[in-house]
Amino acid sequence: MIYNMKLGKQAPVVDPRVPHLSDRCKLARPLPAVDWTPAVKTFTALGNNQHGDCTAAAAFHTAQTLLANSAGSSWVPTDQDALNLYAATSGFPKVDEGAVELDVLKYWASTGIPTPAGQDTIAFTTLNPRNLDELKLSIQWFGSAYIGVAMPLSCQTQGHLWDVPAGGTKGAGAPNSWGGHALCLLAYDDKTFTAISWGEKYKMTYAFAQTYIDEAYAVLSRHWLDVAGIAPSNIGWQELQADLTALLPSGR
Contact call for residues 200 and 43 (beta carbons, < 8 A):
yes
Decide if 21 is inside a domain. Answer: no
Residue 133 placed within a domain: yes
Helix (H, G, I), strand (E, B) or coil at 172: helix
What's the domain count of the chain?
Answer: 1
**Residue positions counted in the chain:** 252
Q: What is the DSSP string of 196-223?
A: EETTEEEEEEHHHHHHHEEEEEEEEETG
Q: Judge whether 193 lies within some domain.
A: yes
H or E element that contains 205: strand 200-205
Mean pLDDT per block of 10 residues along the chain (252 residues) reads 82 94 88 97 97 98 95 96 98 98 96 93 94 96 96 96 97 98 98 98 98 96 67 65 70 40
In degrees, to the nearest 5, what angle opens at C-alpha 75 toward C-alphas 74 and 77?
150
Residue 224 is predicted with a pLDDT of 80
Instruction: Give domain status of residue 17, yes or no.
Output: no
- The reported pLDDT for the residue numbered 190 is 97
CATH of the domain at 126: 3.90.70.10
Evaluate whether residue 10 is within a structural domain.
no
pTM: 0.93
Residue 210 lies in a domain: yes
Q: What CA–CA distance (Å, rounded) separates 21 from 56?
A: 22
> Considering the domain boundaries, does residue 239 fall inside one?
yes
| Residue 35 domain-assigned (yes or no) | no
Give the domain extent around 73: 41-244
What is the three-class DSSP state of 66? helix
Whole-angstrom distance, CA of residue 45 vs CA of residue 202 = 13
The whole-number pLDDT of residue 252 equals 40
Rounded Cα gap, residues 70 and 65, in angstroms: 9
DSSP string, 88-142: HTSSTTT----B-HHHHHHHHHHT-EEETTEEE-EEEEE--TT-HHHHHHHHHHH
Report which secondary-structure segment, H or E, holds 23.
Answer: helix 21-24
